[in-house]
Chain A
């Protein structure tokens, strides 16, 4: 399988298929990032689409100092910031109300019961609400570390801040989340799947 760097080089040479392979590879993580930062499905989809369009248009300016994924994350975060500014509101925790058993059943794994799935959904809702209450810097740092596995240094580069600031944001954010989730009756680890 071709690496991101190879696909980027081919895309810069005018190969649209190679760029679309990059889109296919990265659309899920980018959508997930946008969704967790702004909290709305449809808007996250728009941000995701706009990210790839901007990346395609600006491909000539991509010099390869950073990883392609970091470059995409930066574009996405800028678009999310613009969205939050434009909407003049904080991110929301948009979670569907009620539980659709049929839908849950289709998501269940052979070792996870429906009850566990319902519990997981409830916890997900509580986390979304708690995350939405965090300052955006702390929320973004936690999302990039927890769900995208970036190193402290990569997060620092992406957010243009010192390494120690990233660690402080993570510490403070996790501490607040811990208190909020404990207040919601969630203070233990999940049952193992």
Chain B
């Protein structure tokens, strides 16, 4: 058998079939060059164990930023305060009791119920948008007619009289407006409650994440301190050993 470097490498790394191993060992007994190669490679392999990479603190983690709430990407304490201020202003505006009376029609905002306003039902009914539009159009038409009636003669009233029977009365209109306003108020209350709950939940999540980060940092500091103390201890041991030898 001639010198086979593939077999030699397989033999040195012990990555060889039993049949090839037997064959190569028979050759090795006769070939001084291959014996020298095997010895030299084994010695080199032994030396290679001394090449150790550094041991840095890696700690890589893959974090899916898509699962993070969008607001957290730009959320800062300053923006948080600004958002809170806007919320307070919105709440104050909603609470303010503004009352405007024009041409016999009264429009009122705010959560406080006036004496004339109907009580807010515990479970507000959904608002029919088409019905609301129709009612507001009716109110506008009615206001315009009242203005015209006041400015001109009784004839105008006569002109409008044939259809008057089919139109809602002023009291009825006021009742409808108040009902609509009350529905709108209760809807606003629900939305505000939802937003406040969301804000509290997000704040709580952020707080928990911050606490976890702080704990992680403290753990790292502690381990560094321990490592530092250990190396000091070992340095003292070395000095003590050196002193003993001298």
Enumerate chain A interface residues (CB-CB to B < 8 A).
16, 19-20, 23, 27-28, 31-32, 35-36, 41, 44-45, 48-49, 52-53, 56, 101-103, 105-106, 108, 114, 120-121, 123-124, 127-128, 131, 142, 145-147, 151-152, 164, 167-168, 170-171, 174-175, 177-178, 181, 186-190
Complex alpha-carbon distance, A36 and B235, angstroms: 30
- Whether B62 and A20, one on each chain, are in contact in the complex, defined by CB atoms closer than 8 angstroms, is yes
Task: Closest B residue to A52 by CB, please name it.
Answer: B60
1/0 per residue B55-67: CB within 8 Å of A?
Answer: 0101111111000
Interface size class of B (residues with CB under 8 A): 35 or more
In the assembled complex, the CB of B173 is this many whole angstroms from the nearest CB of chain A, namely 57
Q: Is B234 an interface residue (CB 8 A)?
A: yes
A-B contacts, 23 listed (Cβ < 8 Å) = A23-B61, A23-B62, A27-B59, A27-B60, A31-B56, A45-B56, A53-B62, A102-B234, A123-B51, A127-B48, A142-B48, A145-B13, A164-B6, A167-B9, A171-B6, A174-B9, A174-B45, A178-B41, A178-B43, A186-B47, A189-B43, A189-B46, A190-B49
- Provided the pairs A45-B56, A170-B9, A174-B44 are in contact, do residues A36 and B62 lie with their beta carbons within 8 angstroms? no
**CB pair B51 A131 closer than 8 Å:** yes
Contact A102 B235 (CB under 8 A): yes
Whole-angstrom CA separation of A41 from B231 in the bound complex = 23
CB of A123 to closest CB in B, whole Å: 4
Report yes or no: B230 in contact with A106, Cβ–Cβ below 8 A.
yes
Q: A123-B50, A127-B50, A189-B43 are in contact. List 8 more A-B contacts (CB 8 A).
A: A35-B54, A44-B53, A45-B56, A102-B234, A106-B227, A106-B234, A152-B13, A174-B45
Known: A16-B64, A23-B61, A45-B56. A177 touches B230 (CB 8 A): no
Residue numbers in A under 8 Å from B147 (CB-CB): none
Are A49 and B60 within 8 A (Cβ)? yes
Residue of B nearest to A55 (CB): B62
For residue B33, give the distance in angstroms from its CB to the closest CB of chain A. Answer: 12
CB A13 to nearest CB in B, in angstroms, measures: 13
- The listed residue (A31, A102, A171) touching B231 by CB distance below 8 A is A102
B15 within 8 A of A: yes
Contact call A188/B43, Cβ cutoff below 8 A: yes
